[in-house]
Structure 1
Amino acid sequence: MNQKTQRIALIGMFCAIAYALMVVGRVPVVLFLKYDPKDVMIVIGGFLLGPFASFIISVVVSFIEMISASDTGIIGFIMNVLSSCSFACTAAFIYKKKHTKSGAMLGLFAGCGVMVMVMLLWNYLVTPIYMGYPRAAVAELLLPAFLPFNLLKGGLNTAIALLFYKPVVTALRKAKLALPSTAEQTGDSKGVIVFSLFLFATCAVSVLVMKGII
């Protein structure tokens, strides 16, 4: 299998897994806002194949979601693409420039920050159009609802991506679907795992609190 065919196959695989995660992993959090872990696969695809691959996967998965599982139409499609790309493309771009564990963490946290800012702006601009809310009412929800939701979303995506990137890429390389890397640092990853589990637990408990379960 040549590299171009391998790349196309990997993008298709990441699209399929991301869509499946969206379908089975969607969790209502607050108001009409729902979390799903598709961005985890999108950012892992970007780490392996580059930021443009994250963009392609984001567009493909969001389009399939629009025609199969969403009731928000073209506006929902645009919002999904913006959310996924602001997180995953930012993270993949930084990781491409700094191909180390610290680069991955820096990229993921930068992606969280960019996604939060982008989605606060676009929720303010777009939510009144497709939800029928007055813009003033949406502005009042930015800090108590949209901000914590996007922080939790970014935190969960970061934690899960840090936990699963290494196993996913290792499995792909063993299956001869990805080329071995000579640039990435190996070393002990226990600290990353502990941090990821702590971040995941913190975000998961926060979601339960926001839903009024605990």
Structure 2
Amino acid sequence: MNSKTNKITIIGMLSAIAYVSVIICRVPVVLFLKYEPKDTIIALGGFIFGPMASFYISVIVSFTEMMTISDTGIIGCVMNTLASCAFACVSAAIYKRKRTLQGEIIGLAAGILTMVIVMLAWNYLLTPIYMGYPQEDVVKLLLPAILPFNLLKGGLNAAFTFLFYKPIVHALRKRGLIE
């Protein structure tokens, strides 16, 4: 199999694994906010193939989720895509430029920070629309609920990405699936 076919196949497999993780590993945290480890898998795809792979996996998983199990419609799909891309694409872009342990750590930290900022802004703007909450109530939730949730989510995803990246890359290289 050529490398382009391998890349497309692995991106498809990572998309499927990320989607399954949403179904079987969704954990309610606070209010309407749930943690699932899909962003870890999306970030792994980006670390292996670059930030565009993270983008593709994010869109595929968010769209599939919207069409099957989500009750938040297109706004939920957009929010999921934004959150995943903010974490995974930023992390992968930094790691792509500096493929070292330091680059991985800086990339993951920047991904957490970007996701937190993006999700605070988008929750402020979109949660009143799709959840029907008054804007004032959403503002009251930003610091005590949405900020800590996104820090927790980003921290867990970064830790899992950090732990699983090297073993997964070694396994894929050993089988000749990536360079």
TM range (shorter): over 0.9
Q: Distance in 2 between matches of 1:155 and 1:27?
A: 15
Structure 1 equivalent of residue 56 of structure 2: 56
How far has the Cα of 1:49 moved from its partner? 0.2
Deviation of the 1:178 alpha carbon: 1.0
**Partner residue of 2:105?**
105
> What's the counterpart of residue 177 of structure 2?
177
Distance 1:173 1:65 in 2: 30
- The answer to whether structure 1 residue 117 and structure 2 residue 117 are counterparts is yes
Structure 1 SS opposite 2:34: strand
In 2, the alpha carbon distance for the partners of 1:175 and 1:68 equals: 33
SS in 2 for 1:28: strand
Cα distance between partner residues in 2 of 1:176 and 1:17: 20
Larger Rg: 1
Q: Secondary structure at 1:176's aligned position in 2? A: coil
SS at match of 1:106: helix
Q: Helix, strand or coil for the counterpart of 2:146?
A: helix
Please list the CA deviations of residues 21-55 of structure 1 after superposition, one character each: whole Å capped at 9, or x if unmatched: 11111000000000000000100000000000000
Matches within 5 A, 1:63-212: 63-179=63-179
Question: Within 2, Cα distance between the matches of 1:170 and 1:20?
Answer: 23
The number of equivalent residue pairs is 179
Runs of 4 or more above 3 Å deviation: none
Q: How much does 1:174 deviate?
A: 1.5
Query: Any conservation in 1 of the 2:3–2:178 contact (CA below 8 Å)?
Result: no
Shift, 1:71, TM fit:
0.5
Local SS of the residue matching 2:136 = helix
Partner amino acid, structure 1, of 2:40: V
Gaps of 5+ in 1: 180-214
Q: Tell me which residue corresponds to 1:10.
A: 10
What stretches of structure 2 of length at least 5 have no aligned partner? none
The code of the aligned residue for 1:122 comes to: W
Q: Give 1:177 shift.
A: 1.0
Report percent identity of matched pairs: 64
How far, CA to CA, are the matches of 2:58 and 2:49 in structure 1? 13
Equivalent residue number for residue 44 of structure 2:
44
C-alpha RMSD over aligned residues: 0.6
TM-score normalised by length of structure 1: 0.83
Name 1:201's counterpart in structure 2. none
Structure 1 residue 97 displacement after superposition = 0.5
